[in-house]
Structure 1
Amino acid sequence: MRTQKRPDRDGGTLEQAKQVCLRLLTDRAHSRAELTERLARHGFRADVAEAALERLAEVGLIDDAAFARQWVASRHTHAGRGRRSLAAELRSKGIGEAESSAALAAVTVDDERVRAAELVRRKLRGTEPPADRLDRDRLMRRLIGMLVRRGYDGGLAMAVVREEMAAVAHELSAPDPADDDPMLTS
Protein backbone atom coordinates (compact mmCIF):
# COMPACT_ATOMS: atom_id res chain seq x y z
CA MET A 1 0.00 0.00 0.00
CA ARG A 2 1.32 3.41 -0.98
CA THR A 3 1.76 5.83 1.88
CA GLN A 4 0.87 9.37 1.09
CA LYS A 5 2.98 12.15 2.47
CA ARG A 6 0.85 14.55 4.43
CA PRO A 7 1.94 18.11 4.97
CA ASP A 8 3.56 18.77 8.27
CA ARG A 9 1.90 20.86 10.95
CA ASP A 10 2.92 24.16 9.42
CA GLY A 11 0.98 23.50 6.16
CA GLY A 12 3.50 21.48 4.17
CA THR A 13 6.49 22.21 2.05
CA LEU A 14 6.73 23.28 -1.53
CA GLU A 15 8.32 19.94 -2.42
CA GLN A 16 5.52 17.94 -0.79
CA ALA A 17 2.87 19.97 -2.64
CA LYS A 18 4.65 19.44 -5.98
CA GLN A 19 4.86 15.71 -5.31
CA VAL A 20 1.11 15.49 -4.65
CA CYS A 21 0.43 17.37 -7.89
CA LEU A 22 2.82 15.22 -9.90
CA ARG A 23 1.15 12.04 -8.62
CA LEU A 24 -2.24 13.41 -9.66
CA LEU A 25 -0.93 14.46 -13.07
CA THR A 26 0.37 10.98 -13.82
CA ASP A 27 -3.22 9.66 -13.88
CA ARG A 28 -4.66 12.36 -16.16
CA ALA A 29 -4.41 16.06 -16.87
CA HIS A 30 -5.97 18.31 -14.23
CA SER A 31 -6.99 21.94 -14.26
CA ARG A 32 -5.32 24.39 -11.95
CA ALA A 33 -8.55 24.70 -9.93
CA GLU A 34 -8.75 20.92 -9.46
CA LEU A 35 -5.17 20.79 -8.20
CA THR A 36 -5.77 23.77 -5.89
CA GLU A 37 -8.75 21.97 -4.37
CA ARG A 38 -6.83 18.71 -3.93
CA LEU A 39 -3.91 20.48 -2.23
CA ALA A 40 -6.34 22.23 0.14
CA ARG A 41 -7.96 18.89 0.99
CA HIS A 42 -4.50 17.51 1.76
CA GLY A 43 -3.98 20.36 4.21
CA PHE A 44 -1.46 22.51 2.37
CA ARG A 45 -1.38 26.22 3.14
CA ALA A 46 -2.67 28.42 0.31
CA ASP A 47 0.72 30.11 -0.24
CA VAL A 48 2.55 26.75 -0.45
CA ALA A 49 -0.07 25.38 -2.87
CA GLU A 50 0.09 28.51 -5.04
CA ALA A 51 3.90 28.38 -5.19
CA ALA A 52 3.83 24.71 -6.21
CA LEU A 53 1.19 25.32 -8.86
CA GLU A 54 3.04 28.33 -10.21
CA ARG A 55 6.23 26.29 -10.57
CA LEU A 56 4.39 23.46 -12.35
CA ALA A 57 2.74 25.99 -14.68
CA GLU A 58 6.15 27.53 -15.47
CA VAL A 59 7.47 24.16 -16.67
CA GLY A 60 4.28 23.49 -18.67
CA LEU A 61 2.71 20.76 -16.55
CA ILE A 62 -0.37 22.85 -15.78
CA ASP A 63 -2.08 24.60 -18.69
CA ASP A 64 -5.82 25.20 -18.44
CA ALA A 65 -6.20 26.05 -22.14
CA ALA A 66 -4.51 22.81 -23.21
CA PHE A 67 -6.50 20.88 -20.59
CA ALA A 68 -9.77 22.33 -21.94
CA ARG A 69 -8.89 21.46 -25.55
CA GLN A 70 -7.95 17.90 -24.60
CA TRP A 71 -11.04 17.46 -22.41
CA VAL A 72 -13.41 18.69 -25.13
CA ALA A 73 -11.84 16.53 -27.84
CA SER A 74 -11.85 13.43 -25.68
CA ARG A 75 -15.33 13.79 -24.19
CA HIS A 76 -16.93 14.71 -27.54
CA THR A 77 -15.26 11.86 -29.41
CA HIS A 78 -15.38 9.08 -26.84
CA ALA A 79 -18.35 9.95 -24.59
CA GLY A 80 -20.48 11.61 -27.26
CA ARG A 81 -21.00 14.81 -25.28
CA GLY A 82 -22.52 17.90 -26.89
CA ARG A 83 -21.31 21.46 -26.48
CA ARG A 84 -23.75 22.30 -23.67
CA SER A 85 -22.63 19.34 -21.58
CA LEU A 86 -18.97 20.02 -22.33
CA ALA A 87 -19.32 23.65 -21.22
CA ALA A 88 -20.84 22.51 -17.91
CA GLU A 89 -18.06 19.96 -17.40
CA LEU A 90 -15.38 22.60 -18.03
CA ARG A 91 -17.06 24.98 -15.55
CA SER A 92 -17.07 22.23 -12.94
CA LYS A 93 -13.34 21.73 -13.55
CA GLY A 94 -12.69 25.44 -12.88
CA ILE A 95 -11.85 26.40 -16.45
CA GLY A 96 -12.32 30.07 -17.24
CA GLU A 97 -14.72 31.41 -19.85
CA ALA A 98 -11.97 32.35 -22.34
CA GLU A 99 -10.29 28.94 -22.27
CA SER A 100 -13.65 27.18 -22.34
CA SER A 101 -14.93 29.15 -25.34
CA ALA A 102 -11.74 28.56 -27.28
CA ALA A 103 -11.86 24.82 -26.64
CA LEU A 104 -15.57 24.54 -27.45
CA ALA A 105 -15.03 26.39 -30.75
CA ALA A 106 -13.27 23.25 -31.99
CA VAL A 107 -16.61 21.39 -31.95
CA THR A 108 -18.70 22.72 -34.84
CA VAL A 109 -22.42 22.26 -35.39
CA ASP A 110 -21.53 19.79 -38.15
CA ASP A 111 -19.32 17.84 -35.73
CA GLU A 112 -22.20 17.70 -33.26
CA ARG A 113 -24.63 16.56 -35.95
CA VAL A 114 -22.31 13.77 -37.11
CA ARG A 115 -21.64 12.54 -33.56
CA ALA A 116 -25.34 12.71 -32.62
CA ALA A 117 -26.24 10.69 -35.74
CA GLU A 118 -23.64 8.06 -34.79
CA LEU A 119 -25.13 7.78 -31.30
CA VAL A 120 -28.67 7.40 -32.66
CA ARG A 121 -27.57 4.81 -35.23
CA ARG A 122 -25.86 2.83 -32.51
CA LYS A 123 -29.04 2.87 -30.40
CA LEU A 124 -31.19 1.90 -33.38
CA ARG A 125 -28.92 -0.97 -34.41
CA GLY A 126 -30.62 -4.26 -33.69
CA THR A 127 -33.91 -2.76 -32.53
CA GLU A 128 -37.18 -3.85 -34.02
CA PRO A 129 -38.91 -1.26 -36.17
CA PRO A 130 -41.81 0.40 -34.34
CA ALA A 131 -45.07 -1.47 -34.86
CA ASP A 132 -47.27 1.62 -34.88
CA ARG A 133 -47.22 5.40 -34.52
CA LEU A 134 -47.35 5.22 -30.72
CA ASP A 135 -44.23 3.01 -30.60
CA ARG A 136 -42.48 5.24 -33.13
CA ASP A 137 -43.24 8.37 -31.09
CA ARG A 138 -42.07 6.66 -27.88
CA LEU A 139 -38.80 5.63 -29.55
CA MET A 140 -38.29 9.15 -30.92
CA ARG A 141 -38.80 10.68 -27.46
CA ARG A 142 -36.32 8.25 -25.93
CA LEU A 143 -33.68 9.00 -28.56
CA ILE A 144 -34.18 12.77 -28.39
CA GLY A 145 -33.99 12.61 -24.59
CA MET A 146 -30.75 10.63 -24.78
CA LEU A 147 -29.18 13.30 -26.99
CA VAL A 148 -30.44 16.21 -24.89
CA ARG A 149 -29.07 14.59 -21.71
CA ARG A 150 -25.70 14.35 -23.44
CA GLY A 151 -25.75 18.10 -24.07
CA TYR A 152 -27.10 18.38 -27.61
CA ASP A 153 -29.52 21.15 -28.55
CA GLY A 154 -33.14 19.98 -28.62
CA GLY A 155 -33.74 21.13 -32.21
CA LEU A 156 -30.63 19.37 -33.44
CA ALA A 157 -31.58 16.24 -31.51
CA MET A 158 -35.05 16.18 -33.05
CA ALA A 159 -33.74 16.71 -36.58
CA VAL A 160 -31.09 14.01 -36.25
CA VAL A 161 -33.51 11.48 -34.77
CA ARG A 162 -36.04 12.13 -37.55
CA GLU A 163 -33.36 11.74 -40.23
CA GLU A 164 -31.96 8.53 -38.77
CA MET A 165 -35.36 6.95 -38.19
CA ALA A 166 -36.38 7.83 -41.75
CA ALA A 167 -33.17 6.24 -43.04
CA VAL A 168 -33.83 3.07 -41.05
CA ALA A 169 -37.44 2.94 -42.28
CA HIS A 170 -36.22 3.39 -45.85
CA GLU A 171 -33.67 0.58 -45.46
CA LEU A 172 -36.34 -1.74 -44.07
CA SER A 173 -38.81 -0.98 -46.86
CA ALA A 174 -36.26 -1.18 -49.70
CA PRO A 175 -36.55 -4.35 -51.78
CA ASP A 176 -33.71 -6.82 -51.53
CA PRO A 177 -31.69 -6.68 -54.80
CA ALA A 178 -31.17 -10.44 -54.55
CA ASP A 179 -34.91 -10.92 -55.16
CA ASP A 180 -34.48 -9.64 -58.73
CA ASP A 181 -31.50 -11.84 -59.60
CA PRO A 182 -32.70 -15.01 -61.37
CA MET A 183 -29.43 -16.80 -60.53
CA LEU A 184 -30.05 -16.38 -56.80
CA THR A 185 -33.75 -17.31 -56.81
CA SER A 186 -33.49 -20.67 -58.58
Structure 2
Amino acid sequence: MQSQEVGSGDGVGIDPSRLRGDAEELLVRKLRTRSLSLSEARMVLGGYEQNAERLDASAIDDVIDDFCRRGYLDDTLLAGQLVTSGIERKGQGRVALSRALSQRGIPRDVIDAALDDVPDDDAERALEYARSKARAMSRLDSDTALRRLVGQLSRRGYNGSIAMTAAKTALTESSFGSSSGVRFVDSD
Protein backbone atom coordinates (compact mmCIF):
# COMPACT_ATOMS: atom_id res chain seq x y z
CA MET A 1 0.00 0.00 0.00
CA GLN A 2 1.55 3.30 -1.04
CA SER A 3 1.10 6.49 0.89
CA GLN A 4 -0.75 9.32 -0.80
CA GLU A 5 -0.32 12.99 -0.18
CA VAL A 6 -3.41 14.84 0.91
CA GLY A 7 -4.14 18.51 0.93
CA SER A 8 -4.47 19.17 -2.76
CA GLY A 9 -8.14 18.14 -2.83
CA ASP A 10 -7.72 14.85 -4.66
CA GLY A 11 -10.94 13.56 -3.08
CA VAL A 12 -9.49 10.13 -2.25
CA GLY A 13 -9.45 8.66 1.26
CA ILE A 14 -9.60 10.73 4.41
CA ASP A 15 -10.91 14.29 4.62
CA PRO A 16 -7.93 16.66 4.14
CA SER A 17 -9.16 19.08 6.83
CA ARG A 18 -9.40 16.24 9.34
CA LEU A 19 -5.93 15.01 8.42
CA ARG A 20 -4.58 18.53 8.88
CA GLY A 21 -6.38 18.93 12.22
CA ASP A 22 -4.98 15.65 13.50
CA ALA A 23 -1.48 16.61 12.33
CA GLU A 24 -1.80 19.97 14.13
CA GLU A 25 -2.84 18.16 17.32
CA LEU A 26 0.25 15.95 17.05
CA LEU A 27 2.46 19.00 16.63
CA VAL A 28 0.87 20.72 19.65
CA ARG A 29 1.51 17.59 21.76
CA LYS A 30 5.17 17.60 20.67
CA LEU A 31 5.45 21.30 21.51
CA ARG A 32 4.09 20.68 25.01
CA THR A 33 7.07 18.49 25.80
CA ARG A 34 9.82 20.40 23.98
CA SER A 35 10.26 23.51 21.88
CA LEU A 36 10.82 22.68 18.23
CA SER A 37 12.64 24.46 15.45
CA LEU A 38 10.84 25.06 12.17
CA SER A 39 12.86 22.24 10.66
CA GLU A 40 11.90 19.82 13.43
CA ALA A 41 8.22 20.82 13.15
CA ARG A 42 8.37 20.27 9.39
CA MET A 43 9.82 16.77 9.98
CA VAL A 44 7.03 15.95 12.47
CA LEU A 45 4.36 17.02 10.00
CA GLY A 46 6.09 15.38 7.04
CA GLY A 47 6.26 12.09 8.90
CA TYR A 48 2.64 12.20 10.04
CA GLU A 49 0.53 9.61 8.31
CA GLN A 50 -3.07 8.54 8.75
CA ASN A 51 -4.59 5.66 6.80
CA ALA A 52 -1.50 5.70 4.57
CA GLU A 53 -2.10 9.36 3.66
CA ARG A 54 0.14 12.34 4.39
CA LEU A 55 -0.09 16.09 4.22
CA ASP A 56 1.32 17.57 1.04
CA ALA A 57 4.07 20.20 1.10
CA SER A 58 1.70 23.18 0.79
CA ALA A 59 -0.46 21.92 3.68
CA ILE A 60 2.67 21.50 5.80
CA ASP A 61 3.77 25.05 4.89
CA ASP A 62 0.32 26.36 5.86
CA VAL A 63 0.47 24.66 9.26
CA ILE A 64 4.02 25.93 9.87
CA ASP A 65 3.01 29.49 8.88
CA ASP A 66 -0.02 29.32 11.16
CA PHE A 67 2.06 28.11 14.12
CA CYS A 68 4.63 30.85 13.47
CA ARG A 69 1.89 33.51 13.41
CA ARG A 70 0.58 32.22 16.73
CA GLY A 71 4.09 32.33 18.20
CA TYR A 72 4.34 28.57 18.74
CA LEU A 73 7.36 28.26 16.44
CA ASP A 74 10.19 30.79 16.39
CA ASP A 75 13.75 29.78 15.50
CA THR A 76 15.22 33.06 16.77
CA LEU A 77 13.59 32.69 20.19
CA LEU A 78 14.51 29.01 20.38
CA ALA A 79 18.14 29.74 19.47
CA GLY A 80 18.35 32.36 22.22
CA GLN A 81 16.90 29.93 24.77
CA LEU A 82 19.27 27.15 23.75
CA VAL A 83 22.29 29.46 23.92
CA THR A 84 21.31 30.68 27.39
CA SER A 85 20.71 27.13 28.60
CA GLY A 86 23.94 25.89 27.05
CA ILE A 87 25.95 28.58 28.79
CA GLU A 88 24.25 28.64 32.18
CA ARG A 89 23.43 24.97 32.74
CA LYS A 90 25.95 23.11 30.61
CA GLY A 91 28.93 25.48 30.57
CA GLN A 92 29.24 25.16 26.79
CA GLY A 93 31.53 27.17 24.56
CA ARG A 94 30.69 28.77 21.22
CA VAL A 95 31.64 25.72 19.14
CA ALA A 96 29.37 23.37 21.11
CA LEU A 97 26.55 25.91 21.08
CA SER A 98 26.80 26.34 17.33
CA ARG A 99 26.82 22.58 16.81
CA ALA A 100 23.77 22.07 19.07
CA LEU A 101 21.77 24.74 17.24
CA SER A 102 22.76 23.32 13.87
CA GLN A 103 21.68 19.82 14.93
CA ARG A 104 18.24 21.22 15.76
CA GLY A 105 17.91 22.47 12.17
CA ILE A 106 18.23 26.16 12.98
CA PRO A 107 19.48 28.18 9.98
CA ARG A 108 23.09 29.45 10.00
CA ASP A 109 22.10 33.14 9.99
CA VAL A 110 19.91 32.64 13.08
CA ILE A 111 22.74 30.72 14.80
CA ASP A 112 25.24 33.48 14.01
CA ALA A 113 22.85 36.15 15.33
CA ALA A 114 22.26 34.19 18.56
CA LEU A 115 25.98 33.71 19.10
CA ASP A 116 26.68 37.38 18.34
CA ASP A 117 24.72 38.20 21.50
CA VAL A 118 27.01 35.96 23.57
CA PRO A 119 29.91 37.81 25.18
CA ASP A 120 33.28 36.55 24.02
CA ASP A 121 34.18 35.17 27.44
CA ASP A 122 34.88 31.54 26.59
CA ALA A 123 38.09 31.69 28.64
CA GLU A 124 36.21 32.84 31.75
CA ARG A 125 33.41 30.29 31.33
CA ALA A 126 35.94 27.51 30.69
CA LEU A 127 37.85 28.46 33.84
CA GLU A 128 34.65 28.57 35.88
CA TYR A 129 33.67 25.11 34.64
CA ALA A 130 37.20 23.77 35.20
CA ARG A 131 37.20 25.07 38.78
CA SER A 132 33.92 23.26 39.47
CA LYS A 133 35.45 19.97 38.29
CA ALA A 134 39.03 20.28 39.56
CA ARG A 135 38.34 19.39 43.19
CA ALA A 136 36.72 16.11 42.20
CA MET A 137 40.01 15.13 40.54
CA SER A 138 42.12 15.44 43.67
CA ARG A 139 42.65 11.66 43.87
CA LEU A 140 44.23 11.58 40.40
CA ASP A 141 47.84 12.33 39.51
CA SER A 142 48.29 15.75 37.93
CA ASP A 143 48.84 14.50 34.34
CA THR A 144 45.70 12.35 34.40
CA ALA A 145 43.65 15.14 35.97
CA LEU A 146 44.90 17.61 33.36
CA ARG A 147 44.15 15.24 30.47
CA ARG A 148 40.64 14.49 31.74
CA LEU A 149 39.78 18.11 32.47
CA VAL A 150 41.04 19.29 29.06
CA GLY A 151 38.93 16.52 27.48
CA GLN A 152 35.81 17.63 29.36
CA LEU A 153 36.36 21.24 28.31
CA SER A 154 36.97 20.24 24.69
CA ARG A 155 33.73 18.24 24.60
CA ARG A 156 31.93 21.36 25.80
CA GLY A 157 33.20 23.27 22.79
CA TYR A 158 36.23 25.13 24.11
CA ASN A 159 39.21 25.25 21.78
CA GLY A 160 42.49 23.58 22.71
CA SER A 161 44.38 26.59 24.07
CA ILE A 162 41.45 27.84 26.14
CA ALA A 163 40.80 24.35 27.50
CA MET A 164 44.47 23.79 28.40
CA THR A 165 44.87 27.19 30.08
CA ALA A 166 41.64 26.82 32.08
CA ALA A 167 42.47 23.27 33.15
CA LYS A 168 46.01 24.15 34.27
CA THR A 169 44.81 27.21 36.18
CA ALA A 170 41.97 25.35 37.92
CA LEU A 171 44.15 22.40 38.85
CA THR A 172 46.86 24.70 40.16
CA GLU A 173 44.32 26.58 42.24
CA SER A 174 42.99 23.35 43.71
CA SER A 175 46.48 22.38 44.88
CA PHE A 176 47.69 20.15 42.06
CA GLY A 177 50.41 22.62 41.12
CA SER A 178 53.66 22.75 43.02
CA SER A 179 53.35 26.48 43.74
CA SER A 180 49.83 26.35 45.12
CA GLY A 181 50.70 25.68 48.73
CA VAL A 182 52.83 23.90 51.27
CA ARG A 183 52.70 20.14 51.49
CA PHE A 184 54.03 18.26 54.44
CA VAL A 185 55.56 14.85 53.99
CA ASP A 186 55.84 12.45 56.89
CA SER A 187 59.42 11.18 56.94
CA ASP A 188 58.87 8.35 59.41
Q: TM-score, normalised by structure 1?
A: 0.77
Measured after TM superposition, the shift of residue 69 of structure 1 is 0.6
Q: State the match for 2:148 in structure 1.
A: 142
Task: Give the drift of 1:9.
Answer: 4.7
Number of corresponding residues: 164
Is 1:125 matched with 2:148? no
Moved more, 27-36 or 13-22: 13-22
Distance 1:10 1:144 in 2: 58
What's the offset of the Cα at 1:38?
A: 1.2
Q: Which amino acid is the alignment partner of residue 124 of structure 1?
A: A
CA shift, 1:174, in A, is: 5.7
Structure 2: runs of 5 or more not aligned: 1-5, 7-12, 184-188
| Preserved CA contact (<8 Å) 2:172 2:180 | no
* TM-aligned CA deviation for residue 47 of structure 1: 2.3
CA distance in structure 2 between the aligned counterparts of 1:154 and 1:83, rounded to whole angstroms: 13
| Contact kept? 1:17, 1:49, Cα under 8 Å | no
What's the CA shift for 1:29? Answer: 1.3
Q: Which has the higher strand share?
A: 2
Aligned CA distance change for structure 1 residues 38 and 126 (closer, same or farther; 3 Å): same
Matching of residue 96 in structure 1 with residue 107 in structure 2: yes
Secondary structure at the residue paired with 1:173?
coil
Identity %: 29
Mapping of 1:139-178 within 5 angstroms?
139-169=145-175, 173=181
Query: Offset at 1:172?
Result: 5.6
Shift of 1:156: 0.7
> Aligned partners of 1:174 and 1:129: how far apart in 2?
18
* Aligned with residue 84 of structure 2, among 73, 83, 89: 73
TM-score by length of structure 2 reads: 0.77
Which of 97, 107, 127 is the equivalent residue of 2:118?
Answer: 107
